[in-house]
A and B are shown apart, each in its own frame.
Chain A
Amino acid sequence: MPVNPELQGRTFPPTEPYLVGREKVREFARAVFATDPINLDPEAAKAAGYDDVVAPPTFAVVVQERTLAQLLAEPDAGIDFSRVVHGDQRFTFSRPIVAGDLLTATLTVPSVKTLGGHSIVTAETAVTDASGAHVVTTISALVVRGEED
């Protein structure tokens, strides 16, 4: 089944709020070789002007993942996950994510393109905090490989 071109322009309902835990930030920081005390030690983070430990830049994938799950679960999307390759990724920040943040993510699909038998689905996830202020927008290009003959 090919990717449904009518996905283009669709906006999904916001995800359930995600509470960023201090230990989750530490776990993620260690996994991406972040060694700055600001990522690990609440006192160091406070000294730098943050309320709690600061998540590394790519931490937003944890929240983004929930929106991509919405996309793949969309009954009429026609996206076969086993054929999906991550083409590129971008993060645009208003501020870093910090432990204690309650984050909500809203997915839109700005474009669906076809290129030589493959489809490229752009997934844009806007992440806001409990006050509704923008924190980060993530943009993923998902390449859905066409069926081989």
Chain B
Amino acid sequence: MAAPALADLRVGDIVAEESFPLTRDSLVRYAGASGDFNPIHYRDDVARAVGLPGVLAHGMLTMGFAVQPVVDWAGDPGRIADYQVRFTRPVVVDPELGAVVSVVAKVGQLDAEAGVARIDLTVKVGEETVLGKAQVRVSLD
């Protein structure tokens, strides 16, 4: 895929949008892949015992997939210069219904001199934002 040109972008442009349906299977898969086996990500009894509303998605799982639409848009993972998020609200994954996380990626800032576009992610479950200050700096020509 060809890389987007910096000169074609305007602040506020939506560059990617995607929804990610999570199930308990997704959490088990991520636990194995990442090595994070904290039981609050797969056991209801443990989650309840530590005062959580239910089994939660790993914050790093949400961070991991939320950037994917931007990586695809950028056309080359090597263009991702920096990626940061704040974990504002946990994603509760219901054993039957799961959870759906929506991601909207918008141009937040353009720096033509440095050749960098800052892409801001809005990451939500329903109306609630789950990642704050989610920003990806992408190197573009």
**CB of A36 within 8 Å of the partner chain:** yes
A side interface size, CB within 8 A: 32
Q: How far is the CA of A85 from the CA of B56 in the complex (A)?
A: 13
> Could you say which residues of chain B place their CB within 8 Å of the CB of A28?
33-34
Which listed residue (B32, B71, B85) contacts A31, Cβ 8 A? B32
Nearest CB in chain B to that of A34: its residue: B68
Bound-state Cα–Cα, A86 to B59, Å: 8
Q: Does A56 lie within 8 Å of B85, measured CB to CB? A: no
In the complex, number of A-B residue pairs with CB atoms less than 8 Å apart:
97
Measured between alpha carbons, how far is A90 from B131 in the docked complex, in Å? 13
Which residues in chain A, 77-114, are within 8 Å of chain B measured between CB atoms? 82, 85-93, 95-96
Contact between chains at B36 and A65 (CB < 8 Å): yes
Indicate if the CB atoms of B63 and A89 lie closer than 8 Å: yes
Nearest A-chain residue to B77, judged by Cβ: A96
Q: In the complex the two chains form, what is the Cα distance from A65 to B38 in whole Å?
A: 13
Are the C-beta atoms of B85 and A36 separated by less than 8 Å? no
In the assembled complex, the Cα of A48 lies from the Cα of B77 at a distance in Å of 10
Query: Contact check: which of A48, A54, A87, A92 meets B82 at CB < 8 Å?
Result: A92
B30-64 with Cβ < 8 A to chain A: 30, 32-36, 50, 59-61, 63-64
B10 at the interface (CB under 8 A from A): no
- If A27-B33, A34-B71 touch, whether A54 touches B77 (CB-CB below 8 Å) is yes
Do A88 and B77 form a contact, CB below 8 Å, given A28-B34, A31-B64? no
Min CB distance, A30 to chain B, in Å? 7
Mark out the residues of chain A between 1 and 47 whose CB falls within 8 Å of any chain B CB in the assembled complex: 24, 27-28, 30-36, 38-39
Cβ 8 A contact of B61, one of A32, A54, A93: A32
Distance, CA A18 to CA B21, complexed state (A): 32
Please indicate the chain B residues that have their CB under 8 angstroms from the CB of A91 in the complex: 82-84
Chain B residues with CB under 8 Å of A54's CB are: 77-78
Q: Nearest Cβ in chain A — how far from B67, in angstroms? A: 5
Tell me if A62 counts as interface (CB < 8 A to partner B): yes
Contacts of B34 in A (CB 8 A): 28, 31, 61-62, 65
Task: Tell me the smallest distance from the CB of B87 to a CB of chain A, in Å.
Answer: 5
Tell me the minimal C-beta distance from A147 to chain B in angstroms: 14
Q: A36-B72, A38-B77, A95-B78 are in contact. Are A86 and B67 (CB under 8 A)?
A: no
Are A30 and B85 closer than 8 Å at their CB atoms? no
Q: A28-B33, A32-B65, A33-B65 are in contact. Are A90 and B77 (CB under 8 A)?
A: no
A and B contact pairs by CB, cutoff 8 A, 6 listed: A31-B29, A31-B64, A65-B34, A88-B85, A89-B84, A93-B80
Q: A36-B71, A56-B77 are in contact. List 10 more A-B contacts (CB 8 A).
A: A32-B33, A32-B64, A33-B68, A35-B72, A57-B64, A57-B77, A61-B36, A65-B34, A89-B60, A93-B83
